[in-house]
């Protein structure tokens, strides 16, 4: 870490900066002020950063109608409205996410529904509200959706989720295109082809395209390209073997999400615009070779749109120098949140960038010396770690505020109430103003579910 006082711009929100007095602001609002007003831990979301990433993504993929924000990354009604205002579409992966989107007034026709085990209530809610596409993940679901659509007197547009058999270079738990995992129909075994034929034959379904998703936090652009190529192979076969009328409906190739984001200073951002152009060219040229009209390429980014827009601010509590061996110690800095607001380090060995946000480290422009540090939470568990190992200045002290950057995706949605910690609030910032988006969960909230 070269200069701890310098915020790496590719990791922090676009509107973050360190003022001359050392205080870090996001969208013109000093983070210590937010910490004082709303308490810590607190998630701070830079609205303009999120909106600008939505616009960049839409531009890269030829328009918002081709970009479905994967709402599992972070969803509130306000976020759904922002996505709508920016002209993007939405991907939901559960009945709950669909209900939030509908409650926000998000147009159902621009929603895609995912899930490997969608229940009848989820499917019925999709059909009743006229959800744009349901992505079929199993034979049972295909039959159930056909039945539900028949009962509702509706023809539902569907995509078939294809498992293209690719080993994405990411954590095992978030790789989804190899054979031995739960999502979709295998391309190699022929089950994806069979499912597509079954969807065409189903009276109340209309097969409008194919879907795949290679995994999440993927940096290897080859993975996206190879997946597109393989799914296009199936698309071409369907064109050959389906009656012309059914083949003509196959207008969509949904390539899922997964675009990796830099979490630490040494990671570089992906060139998403470049990847988008390459993918679209590949699809167009393959279609040309086959003499077919190219399908529309859809994508479903979650992390790339929201991860960099948010930071989590914590107050530093205890600081301990822990003996490891006779000649080594490690400093443990405990903050007032932990694995309940960010499980990603414990679950995926995720890495984060942490900075002091209430002042400069050191004195007279001289940053304090660095020391091996682990940032841990306040939960009653040794695995409650936010940053495993970082070289941090040795002057971080009790009462300081530190913030972890790029916590916008999969932190709040995967938060828990472990040890009866209420979930932190989410505060949005824009043009020097703050707005409370989600309030802090109180102990009364937690106890309110108990019925005796």
Binding site for ligand LLP (CB under 6 A): 70, 73, 91, 114, 174, 176, 213, 216-217, 256-259, 300-304, 344, 348, 409-410
| C-beta closer to ligand LLP: residue 154 or 418 | 418
**299 token code pair:** 């994508």
Q: How far is the CB of 341 from ligand LLP (least distance, A)?
A: 13
Output the smallest distance, CB 443 to ligand LLP, in A.
27
Pick the closer one to ligand LLP by CB: 27 or 297. 297
Closest approach of ligand LLP to the CB of residue 409, in Å: 6
Instruction: With beta carbons less than 8 A apart as the criterion, state whether 82 and 74 touch.
Output: no
Contact (CB, 8 A) for 338 and 378:
yes
Q: Is 136 in a helix, a strand, or coil? A: strand
Question: Are the C-beta atoms of 300 and 257 separated by less than 8 Å?
Answer: yes
The minimum distance between CB 451 and ligand LLP, in angstroms, equals: 31
Establish whether 380 is a catalytic residue: yes
For ligand LLP, the closer of residues 132 and 302 by Cβ is: 302
180-208 burial: b if 16+ Cβ within 10 Å, else e: eeebbbbbeeebbbebbbbbbebebbebb
Alpha-carbon distance of 126 to 118, in angstroms, equals 10
Provide DSSP, 254-315: E----B----STTSPPP-HHHHHHHHHHHHHHHHHHHT-PPPEEEB--SHHHHGGGEEEEEE
Q: How far is the CB of 125 from ligand LLP (least distance, A)?
A: 19
Nearer to ligand LLP, 286 or 344 (CB): 344
**Torsion-angle region of 87 (φ positive above 0: left; ψ -120 to 50: alpha; else: beta):** left
Q: CB of 132 within 8 A of CB of 126?
A: no
Is the CB of 86 or the CB of 91 nearer to ligand LLP?
91
Which residues are designated catalytic?
380
């Amino acid at each position: 870490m070269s200069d701890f006082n310098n915020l790496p711009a590719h990791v922090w929100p676009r509107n973050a900066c360190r003022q001359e007095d050392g205080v870090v602001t996001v969208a013109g609002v000093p983070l210590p002020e937010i910490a004082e007003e709303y308490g810590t831990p607190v998630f701070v979301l830079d609205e303009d950063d999120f909106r600008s990433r939505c616009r960049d993504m839409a531009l890269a993929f030829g328009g918002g109608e081709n970009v479905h924000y994967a709402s599992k990354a972070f969803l509130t009604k306000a976020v759904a409205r922002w996505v709508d205002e920016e002209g993007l579409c939405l991907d939901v992966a559960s009945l709950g996410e669909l209900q939030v989107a509908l409650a926000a007034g998000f147009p159902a026709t621009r929603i895609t529904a995912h899930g490997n085990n969608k229940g009848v209530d989820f499917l019925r809610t999709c059909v009743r509200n006229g959800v744009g596409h349901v992505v079929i993940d199993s034979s049972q679901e295909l039959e159930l959706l056909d039945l539900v659509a028949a009962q509702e007197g509706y023809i539902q547009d569907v995509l078939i989720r294809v498992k293209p058999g690719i080993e994405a270079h990411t954590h095992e738990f978030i790789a989804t295109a190899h054979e031995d995992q739960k999502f979709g129909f295998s391309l190699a075994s022929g089950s994806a082809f069979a499912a597509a034929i079954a969807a065409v034959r189903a009276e109340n379904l209309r097969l409008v395209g194919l879907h795949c998703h290679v995994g999440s936090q993927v940096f290897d652009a080859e993975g996206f390209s190879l997946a597109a190529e393989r799914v296009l192979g199936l698309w071409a076969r369907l064109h050959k073997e389906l009656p012309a009328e059914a083949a003509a409906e196959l207008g969509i190739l949904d390539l899922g999400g997964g675009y990796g984001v830099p979490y630490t200073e040494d990671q570089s951002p992906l060139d998403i615009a470049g990847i988008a152009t390459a993918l679209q060219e590949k699809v167009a040229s393959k279609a040309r070779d086959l003499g077919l009209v190219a399908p529309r390429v859809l994508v479903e980014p979650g992390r790339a749109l929201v991860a960099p827009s948010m930071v989590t601010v914590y107050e530093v509590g205890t600081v301990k120098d822990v003996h490891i061996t006779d000649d080594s110690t490690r400093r443990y800095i405990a903050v007032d949140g932990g694995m309940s607001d960010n499980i990603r380090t414990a679950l995926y060995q995720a890495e984060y960038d942490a900075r002091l946000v209430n002042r400069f480290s050191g004195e007279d422009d001289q940053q304090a010396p660095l020391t091996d540090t682990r940032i841990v939470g306040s939960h009653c568990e040794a695995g409650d770690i936010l940053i495993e190992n970082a070289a941090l200045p040795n002057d971080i002290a009790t009462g300081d505020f530190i913030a972890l950057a790029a916590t916008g995706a999969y932190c709040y949605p995967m938060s828990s109430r472990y040890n009866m910690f209420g979930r932190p609030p989410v505060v949005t910032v824009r043009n020097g103003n703050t707005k409370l988006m989600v309030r802090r969960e109180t102990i009364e909230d937690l106890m309110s579910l108990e019925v005796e």
